Amino acid sequence: MTPPGEVTEQVFSGLEGRPQLLVVTDCDHPSTAVEVELLEGAGFEVRVDQCSTEEEVIASCAGAIGLLTQYAPITRRTLDSLPTVRAIARYGTGLDNIDVEAAAEAGVRIVSAPDYATGEVSDHTIGLILALTRRIVGFDREVRLGIWDFRAGGPIHRTATLTLGVLGLGRIGSAVARKATSMGFAVRGFDPAVPEHQEVEIVGFDELLASSDVVTVHVPLSDTTKHLVDRRAIQSMRPGAFLVNTSRGGVVDEEALFLGLSEGQLGGAALDVFETEPLDPSHPLLASPNLIVTPHVGFYSEESLDELKREVAQRLLAEIKRESGSSLG
């Protein structure tokens, strides 16, 4: 029997003892040094690229056994053209750029980092909620224009009088609920997968919309959740309510949101995510004075970025080792 410490060398060596290839298809982080060091330390050859099309992925990843990807299109065509790929890891919590069904059919293992940045995203969400309810951005803008009037921002209500509706009670939604509760918000939640919650009153979708002063969105993007917050949902919200989205842009219908803001149904909104990123500077939403936008930065801290890189690299290595070990019998 091969000693466990030697399995890595056998599994991770290609033809004639040459290291097998892993490819970072794309990454917008300042550096890939952390993950490259981990992967090379495990005995792999690592190539770092910036692919944005199927053709670029196919050309760059020919012969690779594993991929580390961020936004590059890992489609059925891509996978069909890369038969040597056995595992793919994605920077982040979701799998938006990967055809998961095609990967499963091809026997390709898919992993991400579902637990990372919970603290950062929930903190960012709370910050956006307070920026809306305390009218912080509007006051800042007015002071710069020479307006010094506490009444100029409209009525502001004590946090303890407000109800926060949390749409989605996974790790991040639950963290937001806990933090908001500690600040005095009355918190309600809706999640079809969570019939009971120790810290949150569970209500139906329509009731959550109609009874909340602020609705914050924390659901993954899927065929079921795409445009979950649509024209009907926004019209069902309490007049003057606020909407926050730090999950996935496609969950909110941006055209419906624009109408809700311009018609006065909503008192304001705050978005960290958009249907198309980066957001076009000419996007109609940016003309809304009661909208706060941030550039999909909710996940970010120096600590979370380091954690993400290490986690996805280690998960990719574990999947390749598992796949290669099973093929060895």
Residue tagged active-site, from 124, 218, 248, 315: 248
- Write down the residue that tokens 């949101």 correspond to: 257
Report which secondary-structure segment, H or E, holds 275: none
Phi, psi of 172 (to 5 degrees): -75, -45
Query: Cα(199)–Cα(313) distance, rounded to whole angstroms?
Result: 34
Tokens of 40: 């090379």
Torsion sign across C-alpha atoms 170, 175, 180, 182: positive
**Whether 6 is catalytic:** no
Is residue 74 within 8 Å of residue 29, measured between CB atoms?
A: no
Residue tagged active-site, from 296, 307, 310, 322: 296
Residue tagged active-site, from 105, 263, 277, 303: 277
Helices 4-11 and 302-328, axial angle in degrees (round to 10)? 90
**Whether 277 is catalytic:** yes
Query: Cα(23)–Cα(51) distance, rounded to whole angstroms?
Result: 10
Report which secondary-structure segment, H or E, holds 121: helix 118-133
Distances (CA, A) of 319 to 2, 57, 325: 19, 21, 10
Reference 290, options 265, 317, 327; nearest CA is 265
Is residue 54 within 8 Å of residue 75, measured between CB atoms?
A: yes
Starting at the edge strand that comes first in sequence, how are the strands of the sheet with 291-293 ordered?
201-202, 186-190, 163-167, 214-217, 241-245, 266-271, 291-293
> What amino acid is encoded at 85 in this protein?
V
Tokens of 252: 């909110």
**Whether 296 is catalytic:** yes
The catalytic site residues sit at 248, 277, 296
